[in-house]
Chains A and B, each alone.
Chain A
């Protein structure tokens, strides 16, 4: 069935790179997403990648997609304290006649000095 898995916690030092990993199950997913949730707020789209791409770079963010292994990663370069948040990986699953986002459990990123 549909499932998206992520590790629950990641702790990094300020200035280092963070890598958040995700595995998904729906090979027909056309888009894969990374959402960010800051404390006390709703989720906000951070970036996405189309399934025919291997990599997407957007300033400090790099998304890598390995379709064969159904593995998605988000790399944050020069991690800052403001990057502390929960990061959700999501796949699109076409079910019941519409596209539904399937979210992972979220990875809590803690950035320490």
Chain B
């Protein structure tokens, strides 16, 4: 398996623009997580899906952030409108079973909002 795939790897955009980050989890994994990593806040869990259903979105910072998982092999994290403080590395991770198994992380998307 290729592991968790994220795209794009780098994104530079201007404040106010819409940003969409994409994730393909490992085939057969039924849990998917979106994290954000910054120097100031460390690694934050944004949202968790189980069997394509959002279970916990309490980490989503604001209404500008939204996430979807239309099927078992694809998820998106959207920021609209983006702001400079959204600049961070966004990781997607997947695991086999309700988060108690090893989480496999993608390489991350480095987002810069100017």
Interface of A toward B, CB cutoff 8 Å: 30-31, 40-45, 48, 88, 92, 95-101, 103-106
Q: A104 to B108, alpha carbons, bound, how many Å? A: 18
Q: Chain B interface: which size bin?
A: 20 to 34
Q: Identify the interface centre among B93, B104, B105: most chain A CB within 10 Å of its CB.
A: B105
Summarize B's interface: helix, strand, loop or mixed. strand
Pair A43/B56 contact, Cβ less than 8 Å = no
Q: Does B12 contact A (CB under 8 A)?
A: no
Interface of B toward A, CB cutoff 8 Å: 4, 42-43, 45, 48, 50, 55-56, 91, 93, 98-100, 102-108
Pair B106/A98 contact, Cβ less than 8 Å = no
Pair A98/B105 contact, Cβ less than 8 Å = no
Pair B99/A101 contact, Cβ less than 8 Å = yes
Task: Give the residues in chain B near A100, CB-CB below 8 Å.
Answer: 45, 48, 56, 99
Pair B108/A41 contact, Cβ less than 8 Å = yes
Pair B102/A41 contact, Cβ less than 8 Å = no
